[in-house]
Amino acid sequence: MKFLSLWGWQVLLCLTQTVYGKAPKFSTPGLFEVDVGLGDVDGIVAAFGDFNGDKFTDIFVLNTAQTSVSVHAWNHGSFRFQKLPETEIAFDPSSSSPVFISNIVPGDYNYDGKLDLLLMGQKSGPKGDISMRIFYGNGRDSLNGTHFHELEAATSVQPFVVDYSGAMKPELLGYPTGEDGTLSLWSPTSSAQASEVTMSQNTTAVCTLAHPHSNAFLDLDGDCFADIFLSCQPKSTGHATFQIWLNTPTEGFKFSKEHALPLGAGQVTFADIDGDGAMDLIFPTCDDKDCYIHVIYNQQIPLCSGDETKNCRNPHELCTADNAYSFDFDDKSAGHVDLLLSSITQTKERFVMEEKVLKGEPPVPIRIGDFNNDGYPDLLVTTTSGVRLLRSIPCTTSLCSKAATDADKRAFQMVKEGADVLIKTGEQNVVATFLDLDEDGTLDVLVGVRVNGVFRTRAILNNYYNDAFFLKALVSNGVCPAWCPSGDKFPSPKPYGVNYPGASFKYTVLNTEGRRRATQAAQLSQSTYYSLQTPYALFGLGRTNNYIEDLFVGVTRRKAKPSNVAVFQGVIPNSQLIVIPYEQDANADPTNWILELYINPSSASRSVMLVLFTSLVILSSVVAGLHWTEKREDERERRKALHAINFDAL
């Protein structure tokens, strides 16, 4: 591997990530349960992170009693998760009254480039106060379970991770105990105590956070600078509301919008559902009769096409804020699609809105991921009948309103063929989420179940054939340019496993018809109630015959100039990108960021190489044979010339 200087930033190109693993092969398309070493492990997956910095995603497993957690690292060679013995920690093993773990949030809390673990524990059920402890990792194979950093306790409303100060360090926003609903900030790198923050301007006040809530940290106005989404308690009308506070480069957060959600709204999640370069809202609702999937589209200025230059977004300047962005909750408009669950599943099942099996009773969100890499996110939902995989399809008048259909919005269709393995009799589903096993660019599924009173985790491999490309991107917290903290390779790894929240990605790509499309993705936008978001963003590119024109990467570093956005051009599809936004001083800019690009080897690479070498051998043999024949012919002609008689000389 070699670093190359290109346009002021560095590119690390590794033609193969590592040697080939032992991934199982199946002859038919579909989902298949595989053994990845978790079949006999007591517990369910509760969080993700690259704990040992090897560029493979590891899992944090919560035991059945919810009293301890352990790290299971991915082994590429054996295609299995293997428990790291020195990583099993209990929240408080010496406590006389049991403390159950209600949330797990991996992150680099002491800003040293190594992944740590924040545990939230409660004693008296979902309404009890939350104790918080940070256990520090060594970046390789162990967590310190005896020495921890204890933060001031919070109320039952779980604090969520933000970068409030704009220093690219994780902070927690929530309510400390005894402060009577005062919104406060925990800064783990500097203090264990929470300090009050003031977000309101003029007469606008911050709402009272809901419990449970859907708070998030992601870009909502299109400038690639993460904003704050607050989920608020219902008002007198009974409707829950949300507020959006926009992040500004120099003035902190400013109030932007407040909207009411439909009655019975569940957890709000975020994704660019229609591939227009803006993050949309997705949430379930249920009434006495039916359940619905709601998609509220983030309406921003469209992408410029042709000679159009006004009231549109330049494809080479995607990270430009649209101050007029809006959300339309009119279910007859193009901006709101509500899909009847029974019309998708063809049964009378209902959403599971809260997981009663887990202590703390966390809400169950709609999980989002592009399992077929067509460029449009799909859904993984938990219903009373089991786990369902819903594929994104264009809206039709039978599913959506005429306005939404005419505007090319998206609906969903249940995947039936090859998806029977998602539901298994005799098991009670607890959690289900997407994960890219073995980092091959295809989203697989992990399902946590309860069998005979014990938690178990099932791994389901995605073996659908997808004629499409993908791009996987990960942004670090920029704590150091290479090995941390001194720059030596040993003993510290590169800062891959820092779980940096709030990074934004936008890209443009041309499809096979020559149409340009812009898409947005967010990294670790939510961190509460077992959000189970991966530390990377994986987005499908669909079918394309070109490089990615422009990839925009935004971070939450707050300063007036230069920008917080880097632009990388001509990125190769089917690759993994790691962006290290390290800036040595205040005058540095995104052109100094480091980009590492890893090409994902195709599963057919060995066959291609075999055919290539066989062809070379055959062609070399033909050339050698012709050369030998030519030499014999030349020798024959030379001998004839020696015996020839020159009659003119006689």
- pLDDT tens by residue, 32-71: 999 999 989 999 999 999 999 899 999 999 999 999 999 9
pLDDT digit string, tens, across residues 91-101: 887 666 778 99
Query: In the predicted model, what is the mean pLDDT of residues 16-22?
Result: 47
Task: State CA 238 to chain mean position distance.
Answer: 33
- Whole-angstrom distance, CA of residue 620 vs CA of residue 632: 18
Using the predicted structure, report yes or no on whether residue 492 has a pLDDT greater than 90. no
Give the count of beta carbons closer than 10 Å to the beta carbon of residue 467: 9
Query: In the predicted model, what is the mean pLDDT of residues 196-210?
Result: 80
- Kindly indicate the confidence band of residue 540, based on its pLDDT and cuts at 50, 70 and 90: very high
- Whole-angstrom distance, CA of residue 432 vs CA of residue 453: 18
Give the count of beta carbons closer than 10 Å to the beta carbon of residue 621: 10
- Kindly indicate the confidence band of residue 632, based on its pLDDT and cuts at 50, 70 and 90: confident
Using the predicted structure, report yes or no on whether residue 17 has a pLDDT greater than 60. no
CB 72 within 8 A of CB 61: yes
Beta strands at 469-475 and 575-580: parallel, antiparallel or unpaired? parallel
Closest-CA residue to 172 (of 488, 163, 191):
163
Using the predicted structure, report yes or no on whether residue 585 has a pLDDT greater than 90. no
- Whole-angstrom distance, CA of residue 46 vs CA of residue 42: 12
CA-CA-CA-CA torsion sign (189, 191, 194, 196) = negative
Q: Which residue has the higher pLDDT, 481 or 213?
A: 213
Closest-CA residue to 574 (of 594, 554, 604):
604
- Whole-angstrom distance, CA of residue 464 vs CA of residue 176: 47
Residue 485: the pLDDT is 65
CB 502 within 8 A of CB 218: yes
- Kindly indicate the confidence band of residue 284, based on its pLDDT and cuts at 50, 70 and 90: very high
Task: State CA 95 to chain mean position distance.
Answer: 36
- Kindly indicate the confidence band of residue 221, based on its pLDDT and cuts at 50, 70 and 90: very high
Share of the chain above pLDDT 90, in %: 65
Q: What is the DSSP letter of 591?
A: G
Q: How many residues would you count in the chain?
A: 650
pTM exceeds 0.75 for this model:
yes
- Kindly indicate the confidence band of residue 144, based on its pLDDT and cuts at 50, 70 and 90: confident
CB 464 within 8 A of CB 30: yes
- Kindly indicate the confidence band of residue 186, based on its pLDDT and cuts at 50, 70 and 90: very high
Using the predicted structure, report yes or no on whether residue 515 has a pLDDT greater than 50. yes
Closest-CA residue to 482 (of 466, 493, 470):
493
Closest-CA residue to 471 (of 503, 508, 515, 514):
508
CB 469 within 8 A of CB 574: yes
- Whole-angstrom distance, CA of residue 601 vs CA of residue 430: 34
Tokens of 425: 């009799």
Q: What is the DSSP letter of 437?
A: G
Query: In the predicted model, what is the mean pLDDT of residues 492-496?
Result: 75
Q: Which amino acid is present at 367?
A: R
Query: In the predicted model, what is the mean pLDDT of residues 286-312?
Result: 90
CB 358 within 8 A of CB 327: no
Residue 481 backbone zone (phi > 0: left; psi -120 to 50: alpha; other: beta): alpha
Using the predicted structure, report yes or no on whether residue 20 has a pLDDT greater than 70. no
Residues in CB range of 1: below 8 A, 6 or more apart: 12, 13, 14
- Whole-angstrom distance, CA of residue 260 vs CA of residue 238: 10
- Whole-angstrom distance, CA of residue 40 vs CA of residue 576: 32
CB 579 within 8 A of CB 566: yes
Residue 14: the pLDDT is 45
Residues in CB range of 44: below 8 A, 6 or more apart: 61, 62, 430, 431, 448, 449, 455, 456, 457
Residue 29: the pLDDT is 93
Given strand 252-260, what is the order of strands in its sheet? 216-218, 227-232, 241-248, 252-260
Mean pLDDT (the chain) is 88
Query: In the predicted model, what is the mean pLDDT of residues 577-605?
Result: 83
Q: Which residue has the higher pLDDT, 5 or 337?
A: 337
Using the predicted structure, report yes or no on whether residue 636 has a pLDDT greater than 60. yes
Residues in CB range of 556: below 8 A, 6 or more apart: 163, 166, 168, 225, 226, 247, 502, 503, 564
Using the predicted structure, report yes or no on whether residue 8 has a pLDDT greater than 80. no
pLDDT digit string, tens, across residues 224-271: 999 999 999 987 778 899 999 999 988 889 999 999 999 999 999 999
Query: In the predicted model, what is the mean pLDDT of residues 423-431?
Result: 86
Residue 202: the pLDDT is 60
Share of the chain above pLDDT 70, in %: 92
Query: In the predicted model, what is the mean pLDDT of residues 485-499?
Result: 69
Using the predicted structure, report yes or no on whether residue 363 has a pLDDT greater than 80. yes
pLDDT digit string, tens, across residues 386-402: 999 999 999 999 999 99
Tokens of 72: 């299971």
- Kindly indicate the confidence band of residue 602, based on its pLDDT and cuts at 50, 70 and 90: low
- Whole-angstrom distance, CA of residue 468 vs CA of residue 11: 25
